[in-house]
Amino acid sequence: MNLLIFIVVLLAVFVIYLILDIKRVVSIKMFPVLPEMDNLTLSPDGLMRIYEYFRDSSLIPEGIELTESYILEELSDIIQYINSRYDCADFWCQLLFRLYKDFSNKLTPKVKDLIKKTFLDFKFWIDQPGVDSMCYWSENHTLLFSTLEFLFGQEWPDEVFSNSNLSGKEHMKLAKERIMYWVDQRFKFGFFEWYSNNYFNEDMGPLAQLIDYVEDEEILTCSIEVLNLLLFEVVTHCIGSRFCVVSSRLYSDNKASNQFGNRIKAILTALLYNDFNYDAIKESKLIHIDTHMVLCFLGMLRNGKYKLPEILKEIALDSTTRIIKSSNGLNPSEYKQLGLIGQHDYQTIAQFSNEIFVNPGFAKNTFKYFKKNRLFSSFFSYPMKYADIGIVRFLQLLPLLSRLDKKFWFTGIALSRGNVYTYRTKDYIMSTAVKCYLDYCGDQHHIALITLREDLNVFTMYPTTCKFVATPGYWSGNRRMPMSVQDEAINMTIFRIAKRKRLGEFKNLKMTHTLFPKERFDEYLLEDKRVFGRRGDTYIAILSNQTLKYKQYDEKSAMSLIRHVHPSLSENMLLDNDTKKYMLKEEFDLCAEGDGYHMYVTELSDNTKETFERFTERIKSNDFLCEDATLEYHSNGKIYFVDYRGDFKIDNVLQDIEYKRFDSDYCVAERMLEKIKIEFNNKVLEIRNRSTSNF
């Protein structure tokens, strides 16, 4: 009897503990990630206007005087945004610091004191005091925050920063270590956000800040070297200022066209053509994306602190047809062998910059770091709070879940390694991330992309949702990553339509779709399971095993190809009269529906090889054979074979699709490099890892 009473009491205590523990976790509130979640509208445009007006007085509208009160009013939104620590405050701090440095003589003491106080109150890293929803850990944010911390510390070395209670000198020491880790990892592992015309912009901005303002020679040298490395990645994958290729992180507008989606277009125009005619105010109004990073980079160029090496300029303008292979990033499976799983800053930066959180072998490490640094209130890690329930911790349910379903939605956030095959001509680029993270859910990856003209890209994807938001969305990410391969101007892609939803997934759409805008082609022809198009002297054909039909025109869908909306906000924010006149007006969304496998072949050609009529006839006569999970295609005397399970053969020869770090006419280099040698037009450039990282 006594034993029974003891057991009952013990169970009652356990139940009470469990209820209280669950209440504790449920009571953890999420901090707002954007001002709209606090019913506020805060714009960065005021800061941009003040900077541009100081830079070029001819831009000042009639009737505007740059008085102290006017400047304070224009800066009020940005100051409130930064002080509230909304996400991307580290973006906006960059231009505010440049305003403070470049035009200090034009700012009144009251304005300068306000800016200084804002900076001294700021939080620079995850382990510093304060709870918020700023994202610190992505590849670009790591550099952005570290750059701010070092430059602010350098500016006020003996001041005590109110949030951390550390001096400027102490912040400089912390920041330098992280900057060195970041540089070291870019050389050894490549760019995790490979070929992102959105996020390369967010790397270029802080690197420009360091090159322009840093007094530490080691950081300055590293910044120039890693910028040269990044720009080599860009110039080998662009046509002049056109830079739209496959990437681990693209939003709908980034992939839809160079016209509106390429965030580094103005930077490339300045570097390649010495053209600084960039209207940041108009650009921001048009696409509702702040232009601060571009202004920081152009400001650095105007200050004469950096000159693009001539060899890189010549590569960007090279009109010879080239095949370029490259490899960036790491697969989660590589981390253990490299000693990259742990709590050291070098390890966590390598893990979280690659967006690896709950993949098998990482969940426990992630939870430990998030709990230690009070990240359960962050918008980006809020669901992780439920892993802090005592019984869940005791039973190790989070690591167990990641082992039981290795491909559930959140493992697909990992950016992974990108083995990229690119075929570049003087007019068009076809690029493919070959067999990338096959069959995983893809959050922001884009796997195959054709850039035909400034305003015309073509791609096929498997949407995650019907919503036209940034990510995952109707035009961004992939519900399942396809098997996709390429040889010269031919891409072959196999999607497997999911039979069931995985944990964390949205509505199970049984469709794939292609951006193929009728109005952007001079000629187009749709015939059941194939479509042809001609733009100028360039031709494209897409073959499918599914019937292709245009979806009824949708204005929101068209608008989302020009600008993207944060997933926490309503897609209704897409509609804007200033931008409407630039969006597509005719049908553009070519859809295929059904279960099983959706298979596609995309082939390009041009008038140097054949006429458009001969091209369409040839493609129609090519064998296109689909069976179960395999695709066979015959073209130009070659026989291609692709298996969804991972094999790619040409003329029955298995192809190597694990690439070197660089493999092209310009450079051949293995992965985990310390230096590279670039050669072209009798010019040579060596880029070295100058990081003093001691990990």
pLDDT digits (tens, 9 = 90+) for 334-348: 999 999 999 999 999
Calpha distance 288→577 (Å, rounded):
12
The pLDDT of residue 217 is above 90: yes
Whole-angstrom CA distances from 64 to 59, 71, 443 are 10, 11, 45
**690, 222 contact by CB (below 8 A):** yes
The pLDDT of residue 1 is above 70: no
pLDDT score at 110: 98
Torsion on CA atoms 664, 669, 671, 676, rounded to nearest 10:
-120
Q: Is residue 194 exposed (0-12), middle (13-18) or buried (19+ Cβ within 10 Å)?
A: buried
pLDDT score at 401: 77
- Cis amide linkage into residue 463, ω under 30° from 0: no
The pLDDT of residue 125 is above 90: yes
pLDDT score at 603: 98
For residue 106, what is the DSSP state? G
The pLDDT of residue 627 is above 80: yes
**262, 196 contact by CB (below 8 A):** no
Residue 22, both tokens: 């669950």
Calpha distance 545→384 (Å, rounded):
41
Mean pLDDT over 33-59 rounds to: 93
Q: Judging by DSSP bridges, how do beta strands 648-650 and 653-654 pair with one another?
A: antiparallel
Residue 208, both tokens: 């420009």
Picking from 669, 500, 683, 489, the residue whose alpha carbon sits closest to that of residue 595 is 500
Residue 190, both tokens: 């490549």
**452, 540 contact by CB (below 8 A):** yes
Helix (H, G, I), strand (E, B) or coil at 192: coil
Helix (H, G, I), strand (E, B) or coil at 60: coil
**666, 313 contact by CB (below 8 A):** no
Run of H or E including 512: strand 511-515
Strands (E), 119-263: 160-161, 166-167
Calpha distance 385→392 (Å, rounded):
11
Calpha distance 515→4 (Å, rounded):
68
pLDDT score at 262: 94
pLDDT score at 576: 64
Q: How far is CA 640 from the centre of its chain?
A: 31
pLDDT score at 492: 98
| Residue 171 CB coordination number (10 Å) | 26
Helix (H, G, I), strand (E, B) or coil at 635: strand
Calpha distance 465→467 (Å, rounded):
5
pLDDT score at 571: 56
**126, 135 contact by CB (below 8 A):** no
The pLDDT of residue 566 is above 70: no
pLDDT tens per residue across span 63-91? 999 999 999 999 999 999 999 999 999 99
CB-side exposure of 504: number of CA atoms within 13 Å? 20
Calpha distance 378→370 (Å, rounded):
10
pLDDT score at 109: 97
Calpha distance 220→218 (Å, rounded):
5
Partners of 533 in the beta sheet? 524, 540
The pLDDT of residue 573 is above 60: no
Whole-angstrom CA distances from 52 to 249, 262, 306 are 30, 21, 21
| Lowest mean per-residue pLDDT among 238-247, 287-296, 354-363 | 287-296
Picking from 252, 563, 602, the residue whose alpha carbon sits closest to that of residue 452 is 602
pLDDT score at 464: 86
Mean pLDDT over 636-651 rounds to: 97
Please report which confidence band the pLDDT of residue 574 belongs to, taking 50, 70 and 90 as the band edges. low
Phi, psi of 490 (to 5 degrees): -125, 125
Question: Which residues have CB under 8 Å from 264's CB, separation 6+?
Answer: 197, 200, 201, 204, 234, 243, 294
pLDDT score at 528: 95
Torsion on CA atoms 621, 627, 631, 632, rounded to nearest 10:
-50
Phi, psi of 664 (to 5 degrees): -160, 180
Angle in degrees, 0-180, between the axes of helices 200-213 and 292-302, rounded to the nearest 10: 40
Phi, psi of 80 (to 5 degrees): -65, -40
Please report which confidence band the pLDDT of residue 471 belongs to, taking 50, 70 and 90 as the band edges. confident
Please report which confidence band the pLDDT of residue 20 belongs to, taking 50, 70 and 90 as the band edges. very high
Average pLDDT, the chain: 93
The pLDDT of residue 570 is above 60: no
Mean pLDDT over 200-224 rounds to: 98
Give me the sign of the Cα torsion angle 117, 118, 119, 122. Answer: positive
The pLDDT of residue 565 is above 80: no
SS3 assignment for 123-138 = CCCCCCCCCCCCCCCC
**120, 128 contact by CB (below 8 A):** no
Please report which confidence band the pLDDT of residue 46 belongs to, taking 50, 70 and 90 as the band edges. very high
Q: Which residue has the higher pLDDT, 566 or 267?
A: 267
Residue indicated by tokens 């859910």:
441
Please report which confidence band the pLDDT of residue 254 belongs to, taking 50, 70 and 90 as the band edges. very high
pLDDT score at 326: 98
Helices (H), 317-468: 345-352, 363-372, 390-394, 397-404
Residue 468, both tokens: 């036209």
pLDDT score at 212: 98
Calpha distance 293→291 (Å, rounded):
6
Percent of the chain with pLDDT over 70: 97
Partners of 522 in the beta sheet? none
Mean pLDDT over 32-49 rounds to: 91
pLDDT tens per residue across span 654-694? 999 999 999 999 999 999 999 999 999 999 999 999 998 87
Please report which confidence band the pLDDT of residue 568 belongs to, taking 50, 70 and 90 as the band edges. low
Partners of 247 in the beta sheet? 446
Residue indicated by tokens 């051949």:
668
pLDDT tens per residue across span 156-183? 999 999 999 999 999 999 999 999 999 9
Please report which confidence band the pLDDT of residue 572 belongs to, taking 50, 70 and 90 as the band edges. low
Picking from 597, 595, 555, 594, the residue whose alpha carbon sits closest to that of residue 576 is 555
b/e for 323-346, b at 16 or more Cβ within 10 A? ebbbbbbbbbeebeeeebbeeebb
pLDDT tens per residue across span 291-314? 899 999 999 999 999 999 999 999
Calpha distance 101→486 (Å, rounded):
48
pLDDT score at 37: 86
Mean pLDDT over 415-436 rounds to: 97
Mean pLDDT over 384-406 rounds to: 84
